[in-house]
Amino acid sequence: MSDTWNTAITEINPNSVRVRGYDIAELMGNCSFGQMVYLILRGDMPNEAIGKLMEAIIVSSIDHGATPPSVLAARTVASTGASLSASVAAGIMSINKHHGGAITNCANQLGKIIAKADGGNLHTAAESMLAEWKLSGERMSGFGHRIHSQDPRTTRLMELAKEAGACGKHIEAAHAVAQCFADAGRELPINVDGAIAALLADLGFEPEIMNGLFMIARTPGLVAHVREEQTRMKPMRKIDPVNHTYDGPSPRNLSQ
């Protein structure tokens, strides 16, 4: 009996690196980061439009200020004198069911609505499932936001999804849920987590991996926050998540 184990991700040989069968040197300069993330997670190379959509998903979640739990955790650990890796790891470990996990939760819920509809009316199915979840105390993830009444990231992601031809049943179900909330007099539009959940599900990603996409996206932001903490702040400071002020660049455009 063989004592070896198998992996289908990356093949390493002398002077050769192949990711999902593709030569890494050929991918470099010819493949976007969004395409690479899709490739390594799904196993197939997406077209440029899907790669652009994947990249937009990553950009949309790269950072959301100094108040999210992952940033507070990373900065708190950094303030003790911990290394960059330890501090960023603390932030990553804070991404769970209630922070970042809304993407996975929402995808699962949208899937249940689609199954409930069984090819029929998604609005009716959404109404039924929302009522059922309300009775059980379960909250619908991916809708409404503590800061944004209309999440600007959602609008842009939906535009790119249309351009990529990636709009499917999960996006339809998300719009049905938003309409149900509106009909009930509750303005809870699709937020960025809900948009990402619907898009990734329509692209074929399993819900269990979606929290990982959020980690991939958020890591550069955590690195930036940790380095800022290490270079601008006093050690062992008391971090108040509310009492902070932005003093970075004023609004600017890509053309500037």
Mean pLDDT of 226-255: 92
130, 40: one domain? no
pLDDT at 2: 67
Give the pLDDT band of residue 256 (cuts 50, 70, 90): low
Query: Which region holds residue 33: left if phi is over 0, alpha if psi is between -120 and 50, else beta?
Result: alpha
pLDDT at 18: 98
Per residue in 93-142, pLDDT (tens digit) is: 999 988 889 999 999 999 999 999 998 999 999 999 999 999 999 999 99
Give the pLDDT band of residue 242 (cuts 50, 70, 90): confident
User: What is the four-CA torsion angle of 51, 57, 62, 66, rounded to 10 degrees?
Assistant: 180
| 93 domain-assigned | no
User: What domain range includes position 120?
Assistant: 102-207
Return the bridge partners of 22, or none.
19
| 136 domain-assigned | yes
| 227 domain-assigned | no
106, 197: one domain? yes
Mean pLDDT of 19-33: 97
Cβ neighbours, 10 Å, residue 73: 22
Instruction: Give the Cα-Cα-Cα angle 30, 85, 101 (nearest 5 degrees).
Output: 75
| 132 domain-assigned | yes
| 89 domain-assigned | no
How many independent structural domains does the chain possess? 2
Closest C-alpha to 105, from 201, 238, 203, 9? 201
User: 218 Cβ partners below 8 Å, 6+ apart?
Assistant: 61, 62, 63, 70, 91, 92, 95, 100
Q: What's the full length of the chain, in residues?
A: 256
Cβ(61)–Cβ(34) below 8 Å: no
Average pLDDT, the chain: 94
127, 201: one domain? yes
pLDDT surpasses 70 at 1: no
Residue 111 belongs to a domain with what CATH number? 1.10.230.10
202, 116: one domain? yes
Q: What pTM was estimated for this model as a whole?
A: 0.92
